């Protein structure tokens, strides 16, 4: 069986280093807000090319706290609108609605699967305060047009960079393009912790200070609470693991690019729609193909020993969690959710496994 993602194998590559830093943390007697977090924040900020990185408990909290910070600063208030792609992972949308802001779902581009920037302007109202772009599957969502729209309507741009760490747009990394960005280090992400972790990056001193305080009980000085914050901190042990794994991220992303290139050049089945995008602008968190006969394709791949996943099977607006949107029609998102299949992609796949995936996909007959 070719696994969709062999996490054990990924982390095993660095087992000696990971065990060493874990025992250092145990022996240090210091488990939160210590020097390992500080080192990771500095390393990550330098890697992304941004002034501040603030550790958070997970990616959802990173996004949630960016918006909470904007509300605390007075940039947004309850009921204001945030534009978000309709086909994103539910976390992007939850971060908005959890702050009693209104998510405004916009259809993606059928070729890139990222928000269709040409549709944004017609969704802007006098309550719109921000656009949340999601670099979905690892592919950059950015353009000059997007910057122009934000400037013209005085909107913040928040990047959901959970899936695209390391991706580059015109020599700048995702996470440094907008006003603030949320990252996830969920174990399966391109930079994965061994548990939950996340980060906010921003060039704004005000945002950085506010997010840091809000994630630590609204406090800058211990037991002095300026805001009604929450508890969302990145553990020392996860920071230590992430410091180890960050060194290998570029090499792992390069391997993902090689595999994606091989898939794109060698999958020739006419019934399969390949993803667009290559080069620096895609770090291939996921390799997503489409088929109008998905059920048969899934069955065929399974019979050939290939594990697949669907990202995502149900669009946000069809989930029970957002039942008020269930009657909405978003045909492009719905088409994507009906047809997508993720092929295995990970830095630890072997040549023989990659070839086996290609031949299984190519032998699919509709
Ligand atoms: C993983 C993910 C998140 C949330 O990250 P967690 O660390 O799981 O909270 C947010 N947005 C997108 C697009 C994701 O893929």
Distance between CA 333 and CA 314 in Å, rounded? 10
- Mean pLDDT score across all residues of the chain: 97
What was the pLDDT predicted at 277? 76
| Contact in structure between 296 and 339 (CB atoms under 8 Å) | no
Residue 63 CA to ligand 1 centre (angstroms):
9
Ligand 1 center to residue 223 CA distance, Å?
A: 31
Backbone angles phi and psi of 323, in degrees to 5: -60, -25
Q: Running DSSP on this structure, what letter comes out for residue 280?
A: G
Q: Give bridge partners of residue 21 from the DSSP assignment.
A: none
Ligand 1 atom closest to the Cα of residue 185 is: 7
List the chain residues with pLDDT less than 50. none
| CA-closest candidate to residue 243, choices 41, 20, 52, 13 | 41
Give the pLDDT score at 312: 87
What are the tens digits of pLDDT across the range 190-210? 999 999 999 999 999 999 999
- The residues lining ligand 1, judged by C-beta closer than 6 Å to any ligand atom, are 58-60, 88-89, 91-92, 134, 160, 162-163, 184, 186, 196, 198
Query: DSSP 3-state assignment of 332?
Result: helix
**Shortest CA distance to 182 belongs to which of 165, 201, 163, 195?**
201
| 286, 114 Cβ separation under 8 angstroms | no
Cα–ligand 1 centroid distance for 62 (angstroms): 9
Is the distance from CB of 204 to CB of 179 less than 8 angstroms? Answer: yes
Quote the CA–CA distance of 203 and 181 in Å, as a whole number. Answer: 10
The CA distance from 209 to 163, in Å, is: 25
Could you tell me whether strands 156-160 and 172-173 are parallel, antiparallel, or unpaired per DSSP bridges?
unpaired
Write down the pLDDT at residue 366. 78
Q: For residues 106 and 132, is the Cβ–Cβ distance under 8 A?
A: no
pLDDT of 111 reads 94
Which one-letter DSSP state was computed for residue 119?
G
Atom of ligand 1 nearest to the CA of 63: 10
State the distance from the centre of ligand 1 to the C-alpha of 222, rounded, in angstroms: 30
| Ordered alpha helix ranges (H), the chain | 7-12, 15-28, 35-48, 59-73, 90-97, 144-153, 205-214, 236-246, 249-266, 294-303, 331-339, 351-362
Q: Look at residue 280 in the predicted model and tell me its pLDDT.
A: 76
Distance CA 54, CA 212 (A): 6
């Amino acid at each position: 069986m070719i696994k969709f993602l062999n996490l054990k194998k990924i982390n095993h590559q660095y087992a000696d280093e990971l065990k060493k830093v874990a025992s250092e943390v145990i022996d240090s007697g210091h488990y939160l807000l210590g020097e390992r977090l500080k080192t990771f924040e500095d390393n990550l900020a330098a890697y992304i090319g941004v002034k501040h990185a603030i550790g958070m408990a997970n990616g959802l909290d990173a996004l949630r706290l960016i918006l909470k910070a904007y509300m605390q600063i007075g940039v947004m208030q309850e009921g204001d609108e945030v534009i978000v792609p309709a086909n994103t992972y539910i976390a992007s949308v939850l971060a908005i609605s959890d702050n009693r802001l209104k998510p405004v779902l916009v259809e993606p581009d059928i070729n890139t699967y990222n928000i269709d920037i040409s549709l944004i302007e017609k969704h802007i109202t006098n309550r719109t305060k921000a656009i949340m772009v999601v670099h979905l599957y690892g592919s950059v969502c950015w353009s000059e047009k997007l910057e122009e729209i934000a400037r013209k309507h005085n909107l913040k741009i928040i990047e959901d960079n959970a899936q695209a760490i390391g991706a580059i747009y015109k020599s700048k990394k995702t996470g440094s393009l907008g006003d603030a960005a949320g990252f996830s280090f969920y174990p399966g992400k391109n930079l994965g912790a061994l548990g939950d972790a996340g980060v906010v990056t921003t060039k704004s001193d005000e945002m950085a200070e506010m997010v840091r305080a809000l994630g630590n009980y609204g406090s800058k000085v211990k037991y002095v609470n300026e805001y009604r914050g929450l508890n969302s901190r990145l553990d020392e042990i996860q920071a230590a693991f992430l410091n180890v794994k960050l060194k290998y991220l570029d090499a792992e992303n390069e391997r993902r690019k090689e595999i994606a290139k091989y898939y794109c050049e060698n999958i020739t089945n006419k019934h399969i729609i390949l993803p667009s995008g290559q080069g620096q602008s895609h770090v291939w968190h996921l390799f997503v193909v489409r088929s109008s006969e998905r059920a048969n394709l899934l069955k065929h791949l399974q019979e050939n020993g290939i594990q697949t996943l669907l990202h995502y099977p149900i669009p946000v607006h069809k989930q029970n969690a957002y039942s008020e949107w269930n009657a909405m029609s978003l045909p492009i998102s719905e088409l994507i959710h009906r047809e997508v299949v993720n092929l295995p992609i990970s830095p630890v796949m072997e040549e023989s496994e990659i070839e086996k995936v290609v031949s299984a996909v190519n032998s699919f007959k509709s």
